[in-house]
Structure formats: C-alpha cells, structure tokens
Amino acid sequence: MNVYFDNAATTAIDPEVLKEMVNVLGSKFGNPSSIHSYGREAKALIEKARKTVATYLNASPSEIFFTGGGTEADNMAIRSTVDSYGIKHIISSPLEHHAVLHSIEELEKAGKVKVSIVKIKKDGHIDLQDLERLLKENPRSLVSLMHANNEIGNLLPIEEVGELCAKYDAIFHCDTVQSVCHYPLDLQKIKVHFIAGAAHKFHGPKGVGFIYINGSLNIHPLIYGGAQERNMRGGTENVAGIVALSKAMEMAHKDMKEHATHIQGIKDYMIKKLESSIPGIEFNGDTKGRSLYTVLNVMFPPTEDAEMLLMKLDINGIACSAGSACTSGSMKGSHVIEALGKDVSSRPVIRFSFSKYNTKEEVDFCVDKLVAFFKQPVSA
C-alpha cells in the first residue's frame, strides 16, 4: 500500500481540475496582453477566474491579484507595504512560514524595520495580550501572523486579531495558504488587509497563487515588468494555472463541509490509534482544540533511531514530513517545534497531513508500521 500523508506540503491535483487545465493549455494559448481574439480569449478566462476567487472570499475582483504562489504573495504583502507606506515596525511570531520570517529578517538586516516577536503560549497559540502590548507600544505597525500553522495546525483567531489591528491602526497581513478552501473566509467581515493563497494546497497545480489586497491600500508592485494584473505584477500570466486555481476553489467550496467532516474523522481516528498503540506519544500544538483539521503533529517516544523513522516510513510507502530535520548526523529541530520549547534531541517528530482522498485503512497501515518500528531492536 502507498499512503500519502503530506498534504500540507502539497495536495494531489484533482482530475477535474487537471482536465480544465489541460484544455486551456491546448486551446487557449494566446497571450492575455495581446489585443487579437486569441489574447482576448485568454484575458477573459483570467477575469472570470478572478471573479470566482473574489466571490468565494466575498471580496471585490479588483482586490484579487494572481501570483506565482503563496511565497510571492507573502513577500509582496510585506515588502511592498514597507516600501509603499514607510512602515518602520513589524510584529510577527516565531511560528511563521519562512516566506514571512525570512522576508522580515532581510528587511531588518537592511535597517528598514524593527521586528518584534509576539509571545507564544505553551499550546502554540499567539498570546493576544502580548500582541496588544506590542501594538500599544508601536501603533501603525505591519502585523504578519498566519491563520493556520503549516506544522502544528494551530488556528489564529483571525477576527480578533483583525479587531486589535484596527484598534491600533496597524496593517494586518495574514498568511492563509493552509486555510484557504478549507475554511470559509468572509473578507467583508474580517478586518484584514492581505491574505495569501496557493492552488496546490487545495488540489490545484503548483506555481500559481493569489494575493488579496484590501481596496483601502495603494501599494507598489513587488515584480516590475509589463502592465499585467493592473500594473501590480509584471510578467505574462499563467492562464492555465489561474483557471485551474479557480476551478479547484470552486470544487473545494462546493463540498467543503463534507470534506472537512471526512478529514477531521481521519485525523481523530489516527489520534486514537496512536494513543492506544504507542505509549509515550505526545501531540504538538492545540491538537484537540483550535486546530487545522488537516494537520497532526506527533512527537514519538525517545529512541536512538530517531533519525531513521521518516526513512523507514518512506521505505514502507508512507509519505509524510519530519517536524525536525536530520543534518550532518544530528537532529536539528524545526523552528516551530523549537519555539514551543520542545526537546527533540532523541524524539522523532512527524507531521501527518490529510486530504479528502485519505482513508482509515491507510491510517491502520501507517500505525502498524509505526508500532513495528518502536518494537524493533535498536540498530547498531
């Protein structure tokens, strides 16, 4: 059996999405910037996709811009805001994706901003009191906090953070790459200035995403070139990818509740199986509380073979991700797990992440292999 439990990294493209994408690649090949009929056809497809995305987010089509993915969208929100508004202070957390952390680190190194890192509670949630303290001390900051953590799954109370940012005149950027198309997001009700999305996180293709930019803002582009995306993102548009993104979003919203129930069931089933099968299991983050239903981060019992677990799972046809990476023979914890204060020197940490395609039979198979691993003699 082959089991794919790495959906937080990327999801399999849905067959209907692939069909739509291939059709556009084969028959709608015009450059959207061309004025002839081929170009106009391609341009019309992009604008239709823009309206689709805007509809599901309850935003205006003029607030949606297509990008090369979530990383570009995050960079655009952060770097362009600092350059356009002269922002001198950024508030973020130690749990953010590197698309955010590395961007703000580079801005700080360049002397453009001062960065404050909000405190994290033991369960991995943002300390909102500390966030308000930082906002009081530094009004008109850029706040960059993710909606759903890609490693431990914790969910940010996005509405509450939005209200705090509005109270202190802060600009709020929320990396929603892991939550778009898994939760309904009503951007008329959430006080957020930027969100980011990537198609490959909801059964679309890689290399295409979007950024929502609230209509109240007027920022400079990150990528200069042509007048594409209403002068906000130079470069010929990925027409087939954009159409596929909108199709994937449409399908995700159509069956969102059904898929959420199914995937949450898979996650809950795996939690119970692991707890009853392997003594000493711990879960990182607020696993049974305010947590993304697609992600389960597990800390296994101490073992001298910790660095071998991920490899053994792969050999047995199980794809997942390590919460810590093996570098030069020594365990180096992920920045997220490290921020939680966990010692992973001898404890393997694995992130299992699920999709609509996963089954309980796959969970059984995976847990059986894990049980066998922890029963085996330690390698010489």
pLDDT-derived band of residue 285, with 50, 70 and 90 as boundaries? Answer: very high
Both 284 and 367 in a single domain?
A: yes
Q: Once rounded to an integer, what is the mean pLDDT over residues 119-139?
A: 97
CA gyration radius, the chain: 22
Both 236 and 286 in a single domain?
A: no
Contacts of residue 368, defined as CB under 8 A and 6 or more positions apart, other chains included, come to none
Both 153 and 278 in a single domain?
A: no
Tell me if 380 is assigned to some domain: no
Q: What percent of the chain has pLDDT over 70?
A: 96
8 Å CB contact between 166 and 191: yes
3-state secondary structure 321-354: EECEEEECCEEEECHHHHHCCCCCCCCCEEEEEC
8 Å CB contact between 208 and 18: no
Domain end call among 254, 270, 285: 254
Both 302 and 231 in a single domain?
A: no
Both 104 and 184 in a single domain?
A: yes
What are the pLDDT digits (tens) for 163-203?
Answer: 999 999 999 999 999 999 999 999 999 999 999 999 999 99
What pLDDT is recorded for position 332? 56
Both 60 and 195 in a single domain?
A: yes
Helix (H) or strand (E) holding 304: none
Q: Indicate whether 304 pLDDT > 50.
A: yes
Domain end call among 254, 279, 309: 254
> In the chain, helix, strand, coil percent, each to 5?
40, 15, 40
DSSP symbol at 216: T
Q: How far apart are CA 277 and CA 274, in angstroms?
A: 5
pTM score = 0.94
Q: Indicate whether 378 pLDDT > 60.
A: no
CA-closest candidate to residue 139, choices 116, 106, 114, 167 = 167
Helix (H, G, I), strand (E, B) or coil at 198: strand
Q: Indicate whether 80 pLDDT > 70.
A: yes
The domain of 89 spans 15-254
Both 148 and 247 in a single domain?
A: yes
Question: If you average pLDDT over every residue of the chain, what do you get?
Answer: 94
Domain total in the chain: 2
Domain end call among 189, 224, 254: 254
Both 247 and 287 in a single domain?
A: no
Q: Which of 181, 320, 326, 366 is catalytic?
A: 326
Q: Is 366 a catalytic residue?
A: no
